[in-house]
Structure 1
Amino acid sequence: MKKIVVASHGSMAEGMKNTIELFAGHNDNVSYISAYTKKNDDLNETIDKLFDTFADDDKVIIFTDLMGGSVNQRLTVKAQTNKNVFIIYGFNLPVVIEAILSKEDVNATYIKKLVEVGRNSLGTVELDSNDSKNDDEDFFN
């Protein structure tokens, strides 16, 4: 079974949860870790409990906010011996939704494809620099 984990420093993961569920619905196979948000939370204990829920044949994609951050480091150490766990750092909303909704088999090739989805979903909006059109028309008309 495919499992997804979204993990961050602070409440970024919780905010992502709200938005992800708006677009993709609630999914019991998606877990969220918001590290350092409560005084007595132990990140190692939280990670240990999470990994205890994984079956040997589960394929797990973990998204962390920052390469080299403590959340990424601790999850990497825990996942080190599990060939079915893949970690992607620097995630964005489109890549997480893609991972949740995709029916593709989770393997190293698919993980590389997901990273490309994340890269390709980042861009700029070209704004019209023509100042002569200055009205209150609806943006989408």
Structure 2
Amino acid sequence: MRQIVLVSHGTMAEGLRRAAEMVFGSLPDVRHVCLSEDKGIAQFEAELSAVFEGLPGGEPVAVLCDVNGGSPYNTSLRLLEQMGRLETASVVSGMNLPLLLVLLMAEDSGRETVKAAIDGARDSIQMFEPRQEDEDEEL
């Protein structure tokens, strides 16, 4: 079973989910919680706790975070540890759309699946380099 939770500062987590829905349609196994300026950390923590509590017990969960060491990341780790779910969770920082798309094509959210998805997402980060045309070359 696949369970994915997206957490971020601002609306990044919501935006990634919406972008993934453009590719896959409805994603009932993906949840998101955003830490915004108008929402304090206590409210964010309560919302994230409710999401974690609503996940099937014993099933692996992939928690994708925007920044390593940020409030969403740290809150995720703390809550998962308090709930006794840290051993079955894969908490990943640096989330991006390619990472999410690869995970959505997988059948589960286990640790090995997440590691493979991270490798694939790393390869997706590239910079365009314009080709240098030779002066004698015709277009």
TM-score category (smaller protein): 0.7 to 0.9
Using the alignment, how far apart are the partners of 1:37 and 1:101 within structure 2? 33
Q: Distance in 1 between matches of 2:134 and 2:43?
A: 54
> CA–CA distance in 2 between the matches of 1:84 and 1:43?
22
Map of 2:109 onto structure 1: 106
Secondary structure of residue in 2 paired with 1:47 = helix
Contact 2:103 2:113 in 1 (8 A): no
Question: 2:61 — aligned with what?
Answer: 60
Q: TM-score, normalised by structure 2?
A: 0.84
Moved more, 64-73 or 50-59: 50-59
Shift of 1:109: 2.2
1:127 alignment partner AA: P
How far residue 37 of structure 1 moved from its aligned partner, in angstroms, is 4.7
Which letter maps to 2:114? Answer: I
Aligned position for 1:123 = 126
State the superposition RMSD in angstroms. Answer: 2.1
The percent identity for this pair of structures is 23
Structure 2 residue runs of 5 or longer lacking an equivalent are none
Once the two structures are superposed, residues 109-134 of structure 1 have per-residue CA deviations (whole angstroms, 9 ceiling, x without a partner) of 222212111211111122133397xx
Asked if the contact 1:63/1:90 (under 8 Å) is kept, the reply is: yes
Structure with the largest fraction of helix:
2
What count of residue pairs does the alignment treat as equivalent? 132
What are the equivalent positions in structure 2 for 1:7-86 lying under 5 Å apart?
7-39=7-39, 42-80=43-81, 81-82=84-85, 83-86=87-90
Q: Compare 2-11 and 38-47 and name the one that shifted more.
A: 38-47
C-alpha separation in 2, matches of 1:122 and 1:52: 34
Shift of residue 84 of structure 1?
A: 1.7
Runs of 4+ with deviation above 4 angstroms: none
Q: Which amino acid aligns with 2:100?
A: V
Q: Tell me which residue corresponds to 1:92.
A: 96
